[in-house]
């Protein structure tokens, strides 16, 4: 299962073997990325795709030197379970 995550204008898209699998929506503001909503298509629920999306999106935010405001319950919960990402939260 080949998973890829791409940042677009206002979301990160995750694909699995080239098939759209979900999105993490965000609003970018000066110095910060506000994650507002995440959705994973039903066919990919429970397969770790959401976690791969969260990790890739947050790694991208870190690489860009930005911080995170996790309004989205999924992203907020994911960060809470991964202490090595808590430093990103503003």
User: How many C-alpha atoms does 78 have within 13 Å on its Cβ side?
Assistant: 25
Cα(73)–Cα(43) distance, rounded to whole angstroms? 21
What tens digit of pLDDT does each residue of 48-78 get?
999 999 999 999 999 999 999 999 999 999 9
| 1 has a pLDDT exceeding 90 | no
CATH number of 3-88: 3.40.630.30
Cα(75)–Cα(85) distance, rounded to whole angstroms? 11
Cα(76)–Cα(88) distance, rounded to whole angstroms? 11
Task: Return the pLDDT at 43.
Answer: 96
On whether the CB atoms of residues 72 and 37 are closer than 8 A, the answer is yes
- Where do the domains of the chain lie? 3-88
* pTM of the full structure: 0.96
| 18 has a pLDDT exceeding 90 | yes
- Average pLDDT over the chain reads 97
Alpha helix (H) residue ranges in the chain: 49-63, 73-81
């Amino acid at each position: 299962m080949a998973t890829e995550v791409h940042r677009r204008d206002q979301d990160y898209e995750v694909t699995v073997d080239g098939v759209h699998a979900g999105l993490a929506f965000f609003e970018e503001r000066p110095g910060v990325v506000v994650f507002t909503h995440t959705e994973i298509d039903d066919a990919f629920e429970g397969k770790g795709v959401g976690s791969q999306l969260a990790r890739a999106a947050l790694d991208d935010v870190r690489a860009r030197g930005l911080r995170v405001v996790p309004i989205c319950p999924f992203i907020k919960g994911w960060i809470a379970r991964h202490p090595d990402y808590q430093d990103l939260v503003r």
